[in-house]
């Protein structure tokens, strides 16, 4: 089993749609979770950290489910500019400097 797994997509959605991505992780002791966004041929950039209580930033909501070991990202009212690859990142093992990246979920928002 991969340490961090994501559905690669692509997810093709119309503008204005709501779309959700899930990511599962294998190390139950992981403590830090993130979503990064990567545009085509660009570097990844932090979209949001994921906190235990869940957190929201505008149209984006991140949730953590420790019992089932997954994190989710919900995007509401999708914009064309949301088209990108979304990377799930987990620090593992806890207390180390290592970040484990998922392979990413590709989103394409269609006009």
Partner 1 sequence: DVKVTQSSRYLVKRTGEKVFLECVQDMDHENMFWYRQDPGLGLRLIYFSYDVKMKEKGDIPEGYSVSREKKERFSLILESASTNQTSMYLCASSLIGEGTGELFFGEGSRLTVL
Q: Which positions lie near partner 1, rule CB under 8 A?
A: 8, 31-32, 34, 36, 42-46, 49, 87, 89, 91-92, 94-99, 101-104
Length of the chain, in residues: 111
Cβ distance to partner 1 smaller for residue 39 or 77: 39
**Torsion angle, CA of 65/56/48/76, rounded to 10 degrees?**
100
In the complex with partner 1, which residue's Cβ is closer, 75 or 92? Answer: 92
Nearest approach in angstroms of CB 101 to partner 1 is 4
Residue 13 CA to residue 71 CA, distance in Å, equals: 21
Residue 34 in contact with residue 55, Cβ under 8 Å?
Answer: no
Identity of the residue, 104 or 109, whose beta carbon is nearer to partner 1 in the bound complex: 104
In the complex, the smallest distance separating the C-beta of residue 31 from partner 1, rounded to whole angstroms, is 8
Q: What single DSSP character describes residue 1? A: -
- Tell me if residue 77 falls in helix, strand or coil: coil
Rounded to a whole number of angstroms, the minimum distance from the CB of residue 89 to partner 1 is 8
């Amino acid at each position: 089993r991969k340490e961090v797994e994501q559905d690669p997509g692509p997810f093709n959605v119309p503008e204005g749609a709501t779309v959700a991505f899930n990511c599962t992780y294998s190390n139950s002791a992981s403590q830090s979770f993130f979503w990064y966004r990567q545009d085509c041929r660009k570097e990844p950039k932090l979209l949001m950290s994921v906190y235990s209580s869940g957190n929201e930033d505008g149209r984006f909501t991140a949730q953590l489910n420790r019992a089932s070991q997954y994190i989710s990202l919900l995007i509401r009212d999708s914009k064309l500019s949301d088209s990108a690859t979304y990377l799930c990142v987990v620090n593992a093992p806890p207390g180390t400097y290592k970040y484990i990246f998922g392979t990413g979920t590709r989103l394409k928002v269609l006009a």
